[in-house]
Structure 1
Amino acid sequence: MNIALLLEMAAEAAPDRIGLVCDGRRWSYGELLAAARGAVELINASGATHVALLDESSEAAVIALFGAALSGVPYCPLNYRLADVDLAALLERIAPSLVIGDVDRVMRIASEQGHALYTRADFTAATQGALVDSEREYDLGEGIAIQLFTSGTTAAPKAAILRHSNLLSYILGTVEFASADEADAALVSVPPYHIAGIAALLSSVYSQRRIVMLPAFAPEAWLELAEIESATNAFVVPTMLSRIIEALDKGVTANISSIRAVAYGGGKMPLELIHRALDLFPQTGFTNAYGLTETSSTIALLGPDDHREAHASDDPKMRARLASVGKPLPTIELEIRDEEGRCCPHGQPGEIFVRGDQVSGEYKDRSALDADGWFPTRDAGYLDEEGYLFLAGRADDVIVRGGENMSPGEIEDVLLTHPAIADTCAVAVPSVEWGESVGIAVVLREGQAQPSEQELKELIRARLRSSRVPTKIKFVKELPYNEMGKLLRREVKKILAE
């Protein structure tokens, strides 16, 4: 099977139903399929080995995604926020490609690489005007559907490979065909080069939910579009939700009572923020979705009922579940393993391993799966007695002090209980005596007095062991995050080293 079947099924079942709204233009499912078939003519004529998108979200992303699938060519959306030198290196790795979007930039940094170039407007117009061979047999094989370059927060980007079978396993296992009402609308504001954005497109098409696309996120624009299109569903990263709530608190008005469901992921959700959201939107169901590029998106969910029960409970153990990412999907297997590869008992942290049909675990020219099909996520975490998964950061982020492994997350959670602290990050800093020790960067709440270093050390010492007490503390205006809300710990290390 091939992901293009999702659009073909939607167009055959309801060709006139609106499938996409972007920049005021409305596209039916029939029109999207016709444009995707037109894209096949452009792709085949170009001789491209990949279809690359260097642009914000738009109708071109949907057309290119399914056009590439019909052509049997990998779709490779690129991070347009990268520096020129980094972007040029990625373009060279997929040359020659059909590149859609910022033509001037590609000509400036990679003109010699042999790419076929289209602006967004030219590509969209060309797909609609292409002469489509009515006798053409489309390549609906089960090869590579998506090639995504990982964010490279700790190293150079890797080319993650997602096959049609991986993506379809996720969609068919979690979404019911044509299950959305015609009035249902999903507000999509995550970048097109992130797996969450691609999964949102695929799941919305298969359920026949109208996709309402916001090319560039701004909280005021998000609220306005949600009201205009009566959005019922949305996916946000924690920083987006924080900015939306901040805009509402500052007096921005919008009728967003239509929003029934909000999913979030991509980074750690501060407990105070999700409690505030649950209070502010009492009729909205919130879902925490945890997944990775290599797993074709979500592998664990904390659902709406869990959110409300934890929010309303006085039981500390129950309330703590809001800090979890819920339970693994029934379609995947998940284990926590120690450094020796043994399964950890409940409550003991280790590395998260997953297995299942949606799990690719594949990179360009190599696979990261072990002999039994298990993928090491490099995320650290633990399962509680009820099977809820708690994350403890990246396995590479663990601070090793004198042979003792320490999770940055447990230190950060304690610091965030201080009323003056708005955000914080714990990282390893060099230590002559211990090899590594704890360093923290701290962001203060607006208008709050700066606590002394000794006060923060005593707070950690009282709640955790003395080994967790930081040897270096720095107060900063803000912490470095990428556009998906992931904390860039390597940048924090640089800040602390200055």
Structure 2
Amino acid sequence: MLLDMAADGFGDRVVVGRRASGFTASDLRARALTGAAAIRAAGVDSVVYLGPNGPAFPVAMFAAAFAGVPLVPLNYRLGDDQLTGLLAKHPRAIGIGDETGVAHLRAAGLSAQTMGEWLQSTAADGDPAEPDVILDDGPAVVIYTSGTTSEPKGVLLRHSNLVSYVLGSVEFMNADEDDAALVSVPPYHIAAVANVISNLYGGRRTIVLEQFDPTQWLDTVRTEGVTNALVVPTMLSRVIEAIGDGVDGSVPTLRSLAYGGAPMPAAVIEKALLAWPEVGFVNAYGLTETSSTVAVLGPEDHRDAYASDEPHIRARLASVGKVLPTVEIQIRDENGAALPPGAPGRICVRGDQVSAEYAGIGRAVDDDGFFDTRDNGYLDDDGYLFIGGRIDDTIIRGAENIAPAEIEEVLLRHPDVLDVAVVGVPDEEWGQRIEAAVVLRVGAELLDADLREFAQTSLRSSKTPDRFWFWPELPRTETGKLVRRNVLKKVLSAEGVTA
């Protein structure tokens, strides 16, 4: 439906790819219909996409939708054993991928095409046949969670979930013809799916940067006249670092920059606001299970917070903003009771865009339809949502619940600290003690005592790390999520403890 509306409303507008060689909305629909016919003829029950982002991805997504089967974008960076396990869950699929991805797909017994072959095969000659109308609200996309704390689960996002998200957050054809969005997230991330459909619905051209590099990102913004961009916090940090090192940071056409997917250090967003005062920054909070964004901190909120001397207004830079009008939220205690503003608890959400449905498991909602995100957080008196981190990450030290994110935020304000991860390590006396893995900036030298003294200027002693580890890098996913279990495993190993 969304693609039909785009093709009817602005069929000649380029909506995918580079300005000189991209697909128009009509092109995209024709290719999707051609691809759908091939999918139906193959008699498969899903389309597995195993490669980097690019023009082949939206064609595959809409072709699968027209064919009435889900698209399953898999993380092409997983190890062989993990990929083999996930592909075994889709024995009746057809595959699309890069050269390496196709090799994995064929080794799993699936028929597969490279992305180039897929685009060549979907180049429509004439008017492709219209599809049979599909009336059931089946899964449109299956995305496997990143598995940073447990084994990946397949999240089923139905057509109604995704369409609800788009209709509740985007105005149809609200973009100017020259508007362009630069997306720097891989196809197996919910943000990639959400950006394909939301930018298409708004009439905005989408460009993908397949391999992120801060200098190339800045060059692409300028050469393609990018007006809107999406990054994860680690990407924005690298761009700001590059500008600080003398790289040309001019972004004359950029009007809006959205970020999300992981906590944003306050120091990074403050530097970005200073570097680009004319850009409207948007912090988006959401999960795969919620079809992307459920809360937004908009441009005016960013500017007001950055300019304010009032602590409660300034603090909003660390929030994810207010919940979308189409989403309901409750902060609950461990017994499920709703909590008042200011009281931290479990973030629970409800709405048509909330899937909360897992393959082979079903929907993980309560009797009232609320989904427990397993994120800690609280709402302030004005309705701004603050995230305290994953419930599974909470450190319990001497019966006190401590959020690693609070400690990490303080340590990241040290000018020599580039990255940090805080974990709870088993301790006979306190239950858990606090340890921090720290990545220093190039050329910096710090001692434990230096960081401990710095931390204690903002944290009481019970929240100050008992030990610091200095590492060259932290284990993060491609989208910037910290794999905290791997941090803990490495710390325990260094201490001679079996994880």
TM range (shorter): over 0.9
The letter for the 1-side match of 2:392 is D
One-letter amino acid matched to 1:480: P
- Residues 135 and 394 (structure 1 numbering): CA distance in 2 closer, same or farther, change over 3 Å? closer
The reply to whether residue 491 of structure 1 matches residue 499 of structure 2 is no
Partner of 2:272: 277
432, 436, 450: which one pairs with 1:436?
432
* Mapped pair 1:81 → 2:77: yes
Question: In structure 1, the residue corresponding to 2:490 is in which secondary structure?
Answer: helix
The answer for the alignment partner of 2:376 in structure 1 is 380
In the alignment, which residue of structure 1 is the partner of 2:147?
152
Q: Is 1:92 aligned to 2:88, yes or no? A: yes
Structure 2 counterpart of 1:57, from 53, 56, 60: 53
Question: Tell me, what secondary structure is at the counterpart of 2:446?
Answer: coil
| Structure 1 residue aligned with 2:468 | 473
Change (3 A) 1:27 1:419: closer
Q: Is contact 1:424-1:440 (8 Å) kept?
A: yes
Residues in 1 aligned to 2:410 and 2:86: alpha-carbon distance in whole angstroms: 40
Residue of structure 2 equivalent to 1:305: 300
State the one-letter code of the partner of 1:418: H
Q: Distance in 2 between matches of 1:216 and 1:469?
A: 37
* Residues 33 and 131 in structure 2, CA contact (< 8 A), matched pair in contact too: no
Deviation at 1:467, TM superposition (A): 2.6
Match of 1:445 in 2: 441
1:407-446 correspondence runs (5 A)? 407-446=403-442
CA contact (8 A) 1:50 1:95 kept: no
**Quick check: 2:33–2:130 contact (8 Å CA) kept in 1?**
no
- SS state of the match for residue 121, structure 1? helix
- Show structure 1 runs of 5+ residues with no match: none
Q: Deviations over 1:12-59 (max 9, x none)?
A: 112211111249622111111000000111111222211111111111
Residue of 175, 183, 196 corresponding to 2:170: 175
Q: Does 1:71 align with 2:64?
A: no
Aligned pairs (5 A) from 1:150-299 = 150-253=145-248, 255-299=250-294
Q: What value does the CA root-mean-square deviation take over the aligned residues?
A: 1.9
Change (3 A) 1:447 1:135: closer
Corresponding residue for residue 31 of structure 2: 35
Letter in 2 for 1:446: V
SS at match of 1:25: coil
Aligned-partner residue type, residue 380 of structure 2: D
Aligned equivalent of 2:497 = none
Tell me the alpha carbon deviations over residues 383-424 of structure 1, each in whole angstroms, 9 at most, x when there is no partner. 111111111110000011233211112222233343443332
Alpha-carbon distance in 2 for matches of 1:280, 1:255: 9
Q: Say if 1:38 and 1:132, in contact at 8 Å, map to a contact too.
A: no
Q: Is 1:348–2:343 an aligned residue pair?
A: yes
Alpha-carbon distance between aligned partners in 1 of 2:354 and 2:424, rounded to the nearest angstrom: 31
Aligned AA (1:396):
D
In 2, the alpha carbon distance for the partners of 1:370 and 1:342 equals: 13
User: What amino acid maps onto 2:343 in structure 1?
Assistant: Q
Task: For 1:102 and 1:410, locate their aligned partners in 2 and report how far apart those are by CA, in whole Å.
Answer: 40
Distance in 1, Cα, partners of 2:31 & 2:458 = 59
Shift of 1:471: 2.9
The answer (yes or no) to whether the contact 1:38–1:130 under 8 Å persists in 2 is: no
Aligned with 2:364 (options 351, 368, 373) = 368
CA shift, 1:459, in A, is: 4.7
Aligned to 1:289, the other structure's residue is in SS state: strand
Task: Give structure 2 stretches of 5+ with no counterpart.
Answer: 495-499
Q: 1:141 to 1:343 in 2, by over 3 A?
A: same
**Structure 1 Cα separation of the partners of residues 451 and 239 of structure 2:** 30
Matched, 1:318 2:313: yes
